[in-house]
Structure 1
Amino acid sequence: MIRKITLGATLTAALLLATAGGVAAQGFSGATLGLDYNKSLDSSDLGGVNYYGQAEVEAISGISFALDLSFYDFAIAGSDARNVTGHAIYALDSQIALGAYFGRDWIDDETINNYGVQGAYDYGFGVAQAYVGLGDGALDRLYAAGASGNYNFAGGISAIGSVDGVSFDDGSGLTIEIGGEYALAGGPVFSGVLGRNYLRNTGTDIDETYIGVKARIDLGYQNGTTFDRRSFFEAYRAAGG
């Protein structure tokens, strides 16, 4: 447990330093620091915590680059996973952004590469985004896809939802979440979700319901980053964190 907390604290500190450096740079546009706590309703484990941070810099008008760092504390699997993902982003206008991403996951001394394309649309009352991707490394012929969105009501209250899925030679994973969030004026954002996780793998078969509590801080003039995290383990986070 000490090692897990230390890794999470190191991740947060690293993103804080990156954010501080970005603020000093002319092109800094946004950053997010956060953590998620998930607890299965179908098992007696204590759940797990995921730590993450994101930072985005605008290189020239309309073209940006972002970096994500994530640490997954897998409660059920009894192991930890880490992810680093880079994004290249092109803003067509103030509403539509297109991008490509490349990420690398590490778990139990194995490496998984994942890469793909993504898009985001700001429709005024919220933002919807989706992605499709491929992967290789420890898992051959990996396919990934997902979507997320939110709808803003008055008073900083929003409805949120997401779906993330992966498939590969020996199995598949799917996570579906719905919930709500509350944004304090100029401060942190708190969320509560109800989710369902399906996991099929060699020797593993999980079908569970979970609850989650999330907290994050969005920074910068665009109030966070353009795209969500992209990782193989986003489709496993219910079982793993």
Structure 2
Amino acid sequence: MTQLSVNINKIATLRNARGGNVPDLLQVAKDFERFGAQGITIHPRPDERHIRYQDARDLKNIVTTEFNIEGNPEKSFIDLVNSIKPEQVTLVPDAPDAITSNAGWNTIKHKDFLIDIIKEFKSQGIRTSIFVDPVHDMIEGAAIVGADRIELYTEEFAHQYSLGNKEGVKPYISSAVLAGELNLGINAGHDLSLDNIAFFKHSIPNLLEVSIGHALIAESLYFGMETVTKRYLEFLK
């Protein structure tokens, strides 16, 4: 089955809004794992407006499934990842002031930079994934720079699906086929939800993992964390 990694950034946002430690980020991570999630994802940003760097260090001692750290590989992020050595790092080219990730890597323009970064992480035994748009040139570039996996940026799919356009999944299917031919593992994330996850999962060949945060946390406000997690797991079978 496709693995579910829960992004807990929004839990940290809620905690930080009031100060203190409510909700307890570490306990929430434990709970999502207890409910069946196969991974925990965080995306620390330089201003620490949600996940703090200390959260990342604390979670290393808590997470018993796959720990995935996302972010733009500037120096402080690289140092953090190398010190923690999570199972997976996902490289995302977001600006420091970005509200959320909004584009994949240009793996051709940034080829030399990505080769060096990926080589460093892989020397530490950390699986490396690159956030990319469903564009064949970018996926071919991901293979050239040495990535283990790609994470398909699924915002456009989600938007088209919400409009009733199921044809919007086609670029993602062809991208996944190409990635498989290039021996790249396939992850996906951004705006995936209970509404669209089953269709996406059953459309994409060899989908290894999805990372879902904003929608999953919002849905949990209505249905509860355990119920929502188990619904995702059922859809991902």
TM-score normalized by structure 1?
Answer: 0.31
Structure with greater proportional helix content? 2
Which TM-score applies when normalising by structure 2?
0.31
